[in-house]
Amino acid sequence: MNSEAVSALIAKNPTLKPSKAKLEAMKSGSYVVHRSWGFGQIKSFDENSLKLVIDFQGKKAHPMDPAFCISTMDVLPANHLLVRKQTESAKIADLIENNPAQLVVEGLQAYPNNATTAIDLEITLAQVIGEDKFKKWWSAAKKVVAKDPRIAVPAKKTECYILRETPVSAEDEILEQFNGTRSARRRISLAEELIDAVDQKEVKTDLNAILTGVADAVKDSNQLDAAERLYGAAVRDDLAKAINVDTAFEPSQASLIADVRALADMAEKIPVQFQGRFLDLVKATHPVETRDIAFTLLKTSQGKFTTECINFLVENGHADELAAALKRWQVEQNLRAPVLLWIVKNRHSKKFAKLLHDLITPRLLSAIFFAIDYEALQASGTRRIPLGEILSDDTDLIGDLLSTADPETARDLANALLLNQGFEELTKKSLLARFIKIFPSIQTIIASEADGKEEQLLVSRESYDRKRTEYETIVSKKIPENSKAIASAREHGDLKENSEYKMAKQDQQVLMAQKSQLERELGRARITDFKDAATDQVSVGSVVEVKVGATGKAASYTLLGAWDSDPSNNIIAYKTPLGLALLTKKIGDTVKVKIGTSEDSYTITGISRHVDRAS
């Protein structure tokens, strides 16, 4: 817009006067970013309608009221990266490819005070580079940017990238940050960065004071947990070695892992890059107990530490014992999700072929379903379940696991899949199709599943929660306790004469049957608040007044959900004989109900709603 157009707008709407400078910047050819429409270019100003005509990506010649744009749109300076991508595309492409640090420098120059938040900078760079390429590009570029003396890199995304007036070396920046923080964790992290700089011959400063600071943090700080203290001690010792300081610090790494009982908790929290060294340290500190410790750590391991434990055991000559342990854990239902995930990922590996050959069976698929179901019960929100994802993504996995299955076993596993709470319905159908490809007879399960869905159980929220708690207690407490009892009983000798083992196995059968029954019931349940109950006929949620038998004795029954029976208070489930007989009946109707050898008649004299009485 020219000055005349701006003046005309202000004359028409005087409240725009404070925004005169911003309106004057909205000239034809200027590039803009709108809060909703994104990046665009002003093409013209329509004097008749008093509107800007703007080309946005995917929305050409879009008319917009300048008054509305004041608070929702920013005019970009000519040196902004998004503008230069249009006006200097070749140069920007070269910087992206060959000089990412210079790209960030020139990006910061477009901001007031040569600074912007990490979030804002990353949003801009993602638009310049392209969303599909940005993540990989930025992962590599950040390392280069961090070493550039012209750029101050923030510790958090909410803080700012700053273009320095005077360049500062990466070493000086780390030293400045180290001296400026009292956080033990931050000091350990910064010392680790200095070790990398020492290794690359980039450090010119005496680092003894830094070493002392890290040593004090490890020794005295109450901010650190056991895993952080151990890792800090390792960084401390690495820094001492890098600057040729030969001092025995306390606490030593060995003393920090002296308590074998604390190792499992510590292993869950140590950084990924330290896991291999952690196991080597365990070996050096506990040479006699190393194997047993490694097996204990494997049994409770998470993520990449599972792989580290297995490689450690194999490399230290325990491959045969590992194979036996995995088989035993499978039988005892003690294979946890991370170990199961490692097994299926490595089942075709030449290195582990002998180790895993006997494990790739239908029994393993059953263990996988159990682990997925258990994790789904524990998960909050929509947390991803890696075992479920690989079962869905690896199209050969189910075929491999069912290669030795008979039709009956396959059918049982297909039923377990349908009852599993860790999969969405579409995923279940996709996985079931893989079963059917191998065992066509399983197709009948789909038909029976469809029929079963018609017979839903109406239940109250309270009764559903009770049933769900009962299920979770069985899955998360009773079954694991039973597995431990089986494992303990096994240690008592000959299984044929072992009564404890037989009782534990019988308990296992009962628990698994209870689990399956509860899964079926919960799968059919539909929670209701009984507000849909009618008053002209008996329905679920009705309070029914009746006269009983020839005596005409008055009684009142409340028909609620399938799991809500409370006979002492005349609350009956609608699935009971009396409940089913009363359903759909109206005032004046008489029903006869035979329970055992006795039969009574019930004449309906009144119908009301439970929710009305409850309120």
Say yes or no to pLDDT of 280 above 60.
yes
pLDDT value of residue 526: 87
Pair (103, 119) in one structural domain: yes
By the 8 A CB rule, do 165 and 109 touch?
no
**Mean predicted lDDT score pLDDT of the chain:** 88
Same domain, yes or no, for 71 and 85? no
Which CATH number do you get for residue 26? 2.30.30
Q: Report the C-alpha gap between 143 and 160 in whole angstroms.
A: 17
86 and 155 in one domain? yes
Cβ–Cβ < 8 Å for 453, 418: no
pLDDT of 447 above 60? no
pLDDT band at 396 (very low <50, low <70, confident <90, very high): very high
In a domain, 520, yes or no: yes
| pLDDT bucket at 137, cuts 50 / 70 / 90 | very high
Question: Does any domain span residue 317?
Answer: no
- Domain assignment present for 90: yes
Instruction: Give yes or no: residues 561 and 593 share one domain.
Output: yes
Spatial distance between the Cα atoms of 571 and 583, rounded to a whole number of angstroms: 14
Mean pLDDT, residues 366-378:
82
Which of 57-66, 274-283, 508-517 has maximum average pLDDT? 274-283
Tell me which residue range forms the domain holding 118: 81-163
Is there a single domain that holds both residue 69 and residue 98?
A: no
Q: What pLDDT score was predicted for residue 45? A: 92
Does some domain include residue 184? no
Q: Are residues 514 and 559 in the same domain?
A: no
Report whether pLDDT(411) > 90.
no
What is the average pLDDT across 497-524? 79
DSSP state, residue 478: I
Note whether residue 403 is domain-resident: no
Is the per-residue pLDDT at 203 higher than 70? Answer: no
> Across residues 440-453, what is the average pLDDT?
63
Task: Give the model confidence (pLDDT) of 525-554 as tens digits.
Answer: 888 889 888 888 999 999 999 998 878 899
Q: Supply the pLDDT for residue 314.
A: 94
pLDDT of 40 over the 90 cut: yes
78-101: average pLDDT: 95
Return the higher-pLDDT residue of 229 and 8.
229
**Same structural domain, 155 and 136:** yes
Number of domains in the chain: 4
71 and 77 in contact (C-beta within 8 Å)? no
Among 13-17, 62-66, 135-139, 521-525, the range scoring the smallest mean pLDDT is 521-525
Angle between helices 290-299 and 275-285 (to 10 degrees): 150
pLDDT of residue 237: 95
**pLDDT of 236 strictly over 70:** yes
What pLDDT does 202 receive? Answer: 55
Higher pLDDT, 500 or 391: 391
The string of pLDDT tens digits covering residues 555-598 is 999 999 999 999 888 999 998 889 889 999 999 999 998 766 67
Residue 230 counted as domain residue:
no
Q: Which of 75, 101, 120 is the last residue of a domain?
A: 75
Tell whether 71 and 19 lie within a shared domain: yes
Instruction: List the CATH number of the domain containing 476.
Output: 1.10.287.180
Q: Does residue 145 form part of some domain?
A: yes
For residues 389-409, give the mean pLDDT.
Answer: 92
Predicted TM-score (pTM) of this structure: 0.55
93 and 55 within one domain: no
User: Do 54 and 107 sit in the same domain of this protein?
Assistant: no
Question: Distance between CA 175 and CA 178 in Å, rounded?
Answer: 5
Peptide bond into 251 cis (omega under 30): yes
Is pLDDT of 375 > 90?
Answer: no
Q: How far apart are CA 251 and CA 245, in angstroms?
A: 17
Q: Which of 51-55, 329-333, 553-557 has the least mean pLDDT?
A: 329-333
Whole-number Å distance between alpha carbons of 390 and 369: 12
- Tell which of 75, 98, 115 closes a domain: 75
Average pLDDT over residues 53-63: 90
Q: What is the pLDDT of residue 199?
A: 60
Residues of the chain with pLDDT > 90, as a percent, come to 51
Last residue of a domain, one of 163, 185, 204: 163
Is residue 153 helix, strand or coil? Answer: coil
- State residue 279's pLDDT score: 96
91 and 124 belong to one structural domain: yes
Q: What's the confidence (pLDDT) of residue 516?
A: 81
Residue 497 within a domain: yes
- Let me know whether 86 and 159 are in one domain: yes
